[in-house]
Chains A and B, each alone.
Chain A
């Protein structure tokens, strides 16, 4: 199981990126921009809709479900907070909304495969940051069952 570093790096965000984190930390759910004009979802947050250039963007909570798109398995790091976690996977998941997030998979690394269904959740860390976790759906079902 990948653990996150206790001293996880918390970016000092500005503008729209700060909005992303404040919202996720306060609500416990990932929110992304959805265009009011064409319904496109986008991440990271932008000033305009990247599909139709509309300025009318709303924050929407995502459903919280996706599939693994890829990952990067590091055997080397310059971030001392992550040294004890080596080797660790940095995972990219595509949500049902079609946007992709970078986060950490909570299950065993060997379970990672392209297309693996996962739940997307956040762990609020203070008011300004939220850490994205991906949980294997079958594992979650077992826990709930």
Chain B
């Protein structure tokens, strides 16, 4: 129960966003990318590193103290690391809001970055500093109980619930197809999208190999080396800065139970987002009908469908029909991943979704703009089904 003395909703605003390009080439140091994106976000905000007194770093690659040391942040008062995989960036926003709303910090940098392409599973071996790598709380369980049976990759674990979802609800494969095609179409309108100049046709999608039934190659997120960051400050301070303040209206994190084992959940189709979404909407005192776009963590097209249902867009099993009949394009009923998402923009662990949400609400997206956007939702999703959500609105 949130104390009446500390109201999180509308306590702070996103005032700066920054990102690096997405790289798929020579090995890159993730720490350097993270610092570049952080500086870009501060420059975008018109702030100096000396203004920052809260840092939420990614769950590996660089620590808050290293960021502070490198950027000259000399009075760090709040630091925390969110260990929720791809749900971390969005979950971290709630922590940033808590710090600002309580006065523990007034300007918080939330940063993400990694070397996803350089360290992809099929990459040639290269030396890794063990301390740089994120911890995976389910790692031992996966080794003990999934790996002997050939399931070593995320797509193979999610195959367990995607298979069941498709069968129980007779989900049309057209839904995932449209998620993938729409993402690529949105990428074509987005500077910085890795696949901006690579249109994807229905025929290319259908002839692409199946990785884990029914997930095809073009249903899978890209692996890129990249970084992105957002700076938040109090709503009062935000009004003095030059961008239109983008207000944090609500947020939440949620975890399925047990979080570390997909296979022993009472309902394998329940994601962390199912429990987080209602709490975030309650905090914001808003409903989905108030929302103008959704930036949804798209590790796989089918996981987008489940999250649309978790957000309450449709009843269970109804997302594919919504995607096909109502539309998730810029001109559809509910625009989704207006930058192309992890599928076509790049793998920013969802921090690129936060950056996109802020740009949309600033009305800064040119031909990729959701016209008149006032309120937007961002979701995060982490192995093995953790969820997070943030709701932003234009001041």
Give the B-binding residues of A (Cβ under 8 A): 5, 8-11, 13-14, 17, 20-21, 42-44, 50, 69-79, 82, 85, 87-88, 90-92, 99-104, 114, 129, 131-132
Contacts and interface: CB of A to CB of B under 8 A. Distances in A.
Interface of B: 121-122, 140-141, 143-153, 156-161, 163-164, 167-168, 209-213, 258, 261, 263-264, 268
Contact of A75 (B151, B152, B160, B211): B211
14 contacts: A69-B263, A76-B212, A78-B121, A87-B213, A90-B146, A90-B149, A90-B160, A92-B160, A99-B264, A102-B149, A114-B167, A114-B168, A131-B148, A132-B149
B151 A70 contact: no
Nearest to A78: B121
Contact of A100 (B148, B149, B153, B264): B264
A92 to B, nearest CB: 5
Given A72-B159, A75-B209, A104 B144 contact: no
Contacts of A8: 148
A132 B157 CA distance: 17
Closest 4 CB pairs of A and B: A72-B159, A73-B213, A70-B164, A82-B150
B209 A76 contact: yes
A43 B262 CA distance: 12
Contacts of A9: 147-148
A102 B263 contact: yes
Given A50-B258, A75-B213, A11 B143 contact: yes
A102 B164 contact: no
A102 B146 contact: yes
Contacts of A72: 151, 156-160, 163, 212-213
A74 B121 contact: no
Contacts of B163: 70-73
Contacts of B213: 72-73, 75, 87
Which residue among A73, A85, A90, A100 has the maximum number of chain B CB atoms within 10 Å of its CB? A90
A5 B148 CA distance: 9
A8 B146 CA distance: 12
A103 B159 contact: no
Contacts of B148: 8-11, 129, 131
B164 A114 contact: yes
A74 B156 contact: yes
B144 A17 contact: yes
